[in-house]
Amino acid sequence: MYRYACASLLAACVALPASPALSAERYPQKPVRLLIPFAPGGGTDILARAVSDKLSAALGTSIVIENRPGAGSTLGGGLVARAAPDGYTFLFTSASYTFAPNFYRDLPYDPLKDFKPVTMFGSSPSILIVHPSLPAKSVKELLALARKRPGDIYYASAGRGSNIHLTTELFLYMAKIKLTQVPYKGGGPAQIAVMSGEAQMVMPAISSPLPFVKSGRLRALGVSSKKRSVLLPDVPTIDESGVPGYIKTAWFALFAPAAVPEPIIDRVYQAVVKVLKDPEIVRRLAADGTVPEGQPPEEFSAFVRDELAQWAKLIRDMKL
């Protein structure tokens, strides 16, 4: 009887889940998956791949990048929200995280309850680019053309509720013009659509189209930042080009399923901070026009809550 009781007690102890602290001490023990809710080739994808090797080294495990585009980034978001909260699946996404809840009634997650914001990797200005055949060589000429031909110019987006969608719609709202949206499954496909002439305009993060702007395959009309970009100093800001007050920054960040233990969140955050301080990464991000960020989880969580509230009001005001 005594032996049976001891054996049962030992079996129960073995079956107990490890404590969060113990799990964090042993973490990670297998590859970590970064799920990107967009197709390859856009700003989010480019940044994730730029930091993945250094993040792998900082964590001591492999980083597996998986693109799961669809439904304005909500498809991938839903997959991560339902993933096991063990610290091996993260959502690497854009500012679309705070836009999408306003466009999808059947959103497969609650952006406040189903995720823990980890940190922002970086921020970047967006750039207004057009196909070279469009008869507009400045923002003012684009505005004049759009007012002459309302709805006739097609702009590409990364899907309804994506960062490119809201960046563009804010521009249209403030400029008081009308263009027609053509949604794609990511910034990469949207950019390709403009290069092929399928659409005439797109407003992605500056990193993605930069080589094509410099080669002349795309024409840059303006940047969304407060100041001109050092990467394209001859391209004016949209604010100075006919839409005063227009300033919109793209950002890229990491989110975990809500039940991931805090010690693991902190472990990953510390690894990200180490990566963002690496001189090679700083130089690489600067070459793409991206500013390293790295806010602590608490600070970034407050930022996300504020963004959700502000964009909900703005989207209502824009009647989107």
The 10s digit of each residue's pLDDT in 239-298 is 999 999 999 999 999 999 999 999 999 999 999 999 999 999 999 999 988 999 999 999
Domain boundary among 241, 261, 289: 241
Considering the domain architecture, whether residues 70 and 91 belong to the same structural domain is answered as: yes
DSSP-derived secondary structure for 173-209: HHHT---EEEE-SSHHHHHHHHHHTSSSEE--BTTTT
Residues 171 and 230 reside in one and the same domain: yes
Q: What is the CA radius of gyration of the chain?
A: 22
Residues 119 and 129 in one domain: no
Together in a domain, 108 and 155: no
CA atoms within 13 A on the CB side of 314: 17
C-alpha 75/C-alpha 38 separation (Å) is 9
Residues 237 and 91 in one domain: no
Q: Are residues 262 and 213 in the same domain?
A: no
Considering the domain architecture, whether residues 225 and 135 belong to the same structural domain is answered as yes
Residue 303: CATH number of its domain: 3.40.190.150
Same domain, 163 and 112: no
- Give the contacts of 185 (CB within 8 A, at least 6 positions apart): 38, 39, 69, 70, 158, 159
Query: For the chain, what is the domain count?
Result: 2
What range defines the domain where residue 216 resides?
Answer: 125-241
Instruction: Please say which residue of 216, 241, 266 terminates a domain.
Output: 241
CATH code of the domain covering residue 225: 3.40.190.10
Task: Mark whether 287 and 221 lie in a shared domain.
Answer: no
For residue range 160-200, what is the model confidence (pLDDT) as tens digits?
Answer: 888 899 999 999 999 999 999 999 988 889 999 999 999 99
- Compute CA 74 distance to the chain's CA centroid, rounded to the nearest angstrom: 12
Structural domain ending residue among the three candidates 206, 241, 276: 241
Whether 233 and 154 share a structural domain: yes
- 70-119, pLDDT tens digit by residue? 887 899 999 999 999 999 999 999 999 999 889 888 899 999 999 999 99
